[in-house]
Amino acid sequence: MAHPATSPSPAAALTGRMVWMASLSPREPLHAAGSVVHFPEGREIFAQGGENDMFFKVVSGVVRTCKFLNDGRRQIEAFYSEGEVFGFDLGSERQLSAEAVSECTLVAYRRASVEMLAQKDMTVGRQLFRYAMQAMTRAQEHALLLGRRGAAEKVAAFLLNLAEQSADHRNIALAMTRQDIGDFLGLTIETVSRTFSQLERDGMIELVSARLVRLRNPNALEELAA
């Protein structure tokens, strides 16, 4: 609202193609309430200030959630990849926007439907509680990272986080741009780039390509990230 350059389409979210009745994880009690949705790279999934009536689980691809400041600066709150849930928010208005970092497939759950479910099935309510707590823990760790750490420490911690949730714990495919990484870590693209280069010079990582990082010395990275 406040800014022309930011938040592109006020409430024009959920324009992804929907396919009803997900056939994913049939054992999950939530599965009946979800519908599969698909978003192309860069598409907004929901907007800050928009209606808070759904949440999502990532099936494939990567999603970012972020806030925009009135001067155009952007803070990325988190990246979500396969199996993770996002879009929990207190109140009726979205505090964050969500966008597809890469082309991605999600399962969308209607809050109202899920809350109905939770009435009948205790485990659903407990699961929602766990999701909320996970989001809280993640946000707290993010705040810790942003608080009092240098550029190298931030980047090292970021890479290690990606590594541990990656299939191959050594080779990390970065779905996001340097700008995304910067906005997540509170750094500029230049500093992110320079830090990558420095870590490579120090033999800790190898930049196979701009978007593919190989960890050469994870222990040294751990030490850096502290």
**Contact positions toward a second copy, by CB under 8 A?**
67, 69-71, 73, 75, 77, 88-90, 95-96, 119, 122, 125, 128-130, 132-137, 139-140, 142-144, 146-148, 183, 186, 226
- At closest approach, how far in Å is the CB of 178 from DNA? 4
Residue 157: name the closest of 135, 187, 185, 134 by CA. 185
39 binds DNA (CB under 7 A): no
Interacting residue with DNA among 115, 190, 222, 223 (CB under 7 A): 190
Q: Does 178 bind DNA (CB under 7 A)?
A: yes
Q: For residue 63, give the nearest of 97, 95, 88 by alpha carbon.
A: 97
Side-chain-facing half-sphere of 188: CA atoms under 13 Å: 3
Q: Is 151 in the site for DNA (CB under 7 A)?
A: yes
Note whether 145 and 37 are within 8 A (CB): no
Which helix or strand (DSSP H or E) is residue 9 part of? none
196 interacts with DNA by CB under 7 A: yes
203 touches DNA by CB under 7 A: no
| Residue 164 near residue 176 (C-beta atoms within 8 A) | no
| Phi then psi dihedrals of residue 169, to 5 deg | -75, 0
| Contact assessment for residue 135 and residue 88, using Cβ atoms and an 8 Å cutoff | yes
Nearer to a second copy, 142 or 178 (CB): 142
Instruction: Identify which of residues 108 and 185 has a Cβ nearer to DNA in the complex.
Output: 185
Q: Which residues bind DNA (CB under 7 A)?
A: 150-152, 177-179, 186-194, 196-197, 207, 209-211
